[in-house]
Amino acid sequence: MYARSTTFHGDPHRIDDALAYLRDRAMPALMGMDGFVGLSMLADRGSGRVIITSSFEDHAALQRSASEMRGIRARTADVLQSPQALQEWQIALMHRERSAPDGARARLTWCRTDPDRLDPLLDAYGESIVPRLTQLPGFCSVSVLADPVEGRSVTAVTFTDDDALEQATARLAPLLAELGRQHAGEVTDEATFDLVLAHLRVPETV
């Protein structure tokens, strides 16, 4: 499975307008697209940073969607009054324990390592971290997107609310640091977002 994410740094006051456009105009078009399996929108209402991710069942479906998605990105950029930064990924891991409620919060962590070390790093994350996540109060889902050529990945962990997310982050921090040391992984960015739209049919990988 594959995904395309677009990052915007726009006007925080226009986030709800962008959400309305995606939900009411873009989603109906995407639902009829062959191979489409999901759309999510993450928003930081303080900074105006928004990440929209569309998911597809294979690379061919991702490519077929290029023209339609280009128009959706352009309209979203207009609404947010923002430039856009595009990235394509493989969906390396997806586990959903429960649907995210209103008010759910997601913690994203971007990492980089040697491309040859990426698969072992992701395998170790799936084996050692994901089982622990599922035992934590408020856990909803975890997904990992990967760029095997560049050795980059981004992990999104979603919890029901801020308190649950902060407790989980503190509890898992030592394990994640040790995992990074073992596999020469470098954290390049971290950020917390509201999960404002989650229409996901991506199947489980664990």
Q: What is the pLDDT of residue 32?
A: 84
pLDDT digits (tens, 9 = 90+) for 125-171: 999 999 999 999 999 999 999 999 999 999 999 999 999 999 999 99
The enclosing domain of 187 has a CATH number of 3.30.70.100
Percent of the chain clearing pLDDT 90 (strictly above): 90
Distances (CA, A) of 38 to 27, 32, 119: 9, 12, 24
Range of the domain at 174: 2-199
Q: What is the pLDDT of residue 14?
A: 97
Residue 30: CB atoms within 10 A of its CB come to 19
In a domain, residue 92? The reply is yes
Q: What total number of domains does the chain contain?
A: 1
Question: Is 153 within 8 Å of 118 (Cβ atoms)?
Answer: yes
In a domain, residue 206? The reply is no
- pTM exceeds 0.85, yes or no: yes
Q: From the centroid of its chain, how far is CA 14?
A: 21
Residue with tokens 């390592």: 113
Type of residue found at 16: D
Please give the Cα distance from 12 to 7 (Å, whole number): 14
End-to-end CA distance of the chain: 14
pLDDT digits (tens, 9 = 90+) for 57-69: 999 999 999 999 9
User: Which among 192, 2, 201 is positioned nearest to 103, based on CA atoms?
Assistant: 192
